[in-house]
Amino acid sequence: MENVNKTPIWFMRQAGRYLPEYRRIRAQNKTFLNLCLNPDLSAKISLQPIERFDLDFIILFSDILVIPFALGQNVSFKKNHGPILSPISSIKELKYKNLQANINKISNIFETLSILNSKKKDKKLIGFCGGPFTVLNYMIEGGTSIDHRKIKNFVSQEKKKAFELIKILTEISIEYLKRQVDSGADYLQIFESWAGLLEKEEYENFIIKPNQEISLELKKYSDKIKIIHFPRGSKDKYSLFIENVFCDVISLDLNFPEEIIGQVKKKEIAIQGNLDPIVLLEGGRKLEEKVLEVLDKFKKNNHIFNLSHGILPDTKIINVEKLIQIVRNYDSTK
């Protein structure tokens, strides 16, 4: 008999560099963006962790920076460096004319989702996009940043331009996610990975309002779609986010106020997370202790086991297998 108390499990970046089968494909495909836009290979990569670990969710193999690419910004990925974008400072530097025309540049991603939908069986399929501010961050900074000085200055000193760009990013994200719903996604995760950079009014304007608009438009479009929000780094503002942005699931990082455990239970929002990926990387006795700690912490909630961020590339397969075994054997009634 199936254990009705089983905690469902998946990992952010579960399809990626820690898997030897992924590395073999990546070695034969030098351009990362082309790989993201290759439906057959992207679908194959998305299914690799399912075939190996029998996880409960399939997440689309893609990247949040397909949106700047769709808007005409130059986007590339350099080994051991990360994304490189030609920095912009205003809407005029984008090739933004027609939403559908821009979305069509990345339409292969919807074909990937359709393939996955046809093969998902009893699994749930997750599509995603980056949160508007997070994507804007990369567009302004020109890639990954240490101090994020450019984006901080931009939203405080170039407010009109910042609002224009956030509006466009919100609109195209909504359309992009609607097309993912049409292609078979059961869940959609919005990765607002740099939410923690902003405070007060800027957090309200560039994090809460755009993400709430995305949620409301998606729920109007489909009453079946489940929405996961991940306002990473929000700390004490997690509570504010949950009160103002519709979520079916809230994804947590390592630092959040304990009172939101009760807050989300009252609002019938599921919790996802929050194991440190470094603990998974290190393995050993500490891994077992921390996994059980997370399971105990959230056992009275509707809980999806995940990490506080993506699996690190050097993580050993045996550690992932051990984590899954602990979660699968856990009885939340005890």
HEC string for the chain:
CCCCCCCCECCCCCCCCCCHHHHHHHHHCCCHHHHHCCHHHHHHHHHHHHHHHCCCEEECCCCCCHHHHHCCCCEEEECCCEEEECCCCCHHHCCCCCHHHHHHCCCHHHHHHHHHHHHCCCCEEEEEEECHHHHHHHHHHCECCCCCHHHHHHHHHCHHHHHHHHHHHHHHHHHHHHHHHHCCCCEEEEECCCHHHCCHHHHHHHHHHHHHHHHHHHHHHCCCCEEEEECCCCHHHHHHHHHHCCCCEEECCCCCCCCHHHHHHHCCCEEECCECHHHHHHCHHHHHHHHHHHHHHCCCCCEEECECCCCCCCCCHHHHHHHHHHHHHCCCCC
pLDDT level of residue 21 (50, 70, 90 thresholds): very high
Q: Quote the pLDDT of residue 333.
A: 77
Check pLDDT > 70 for residue 4: no
pLDDT digits (tens, 9 = 90+) for 35-78: 999 999 999 999 999 999 999 999 999 999 999 999 999 999 98
50 vs 1, residue with greater confidence: 50
* Torsion on CA atoms 87, 92, 97, 100, rounded to nearest 10: 30
What pTM was computed for the model? 0.96
Check pLDDT > 60 for residue 2: no
pLDDT digits (tens, 9 = 90+) for 114-161: 999 999 999 999 999 999 999 999 999 999 888 999 999 999 999 999
pLDDT level of residue 3 (50, 70, 90 thresholds): very low
pLDDT level of residue 5 (50, 70, 90 thresholds): low
Q: Quote the pLDDT of residue 1.
A: 30
Q: Quote the pLDDT of residue 79.
A: 76
Q: Quote the pLDDT of residue 238.
A: 97
pLDDT digits (tens, 9 = 90+) for 188-213: 999 999 999 999 999 999 999 999 99
Structural domains of the chain in order of their starting residue, each with its CATH number = 20-329 (3.20.20.210)
The whole-number average pLDDT for the span 216-220 is 98
Q: Quote the pLDDT of residue 244.
A: 98
Check pLDDT > 50 for residue 173: yes
Check pLDDT > 90 for residue 97: no
Check pLDDT > 60 for residue 303: yes
Mean pLDDT of the chain: 95
Q: Quote the pLDDT of residue 96.
A: 83
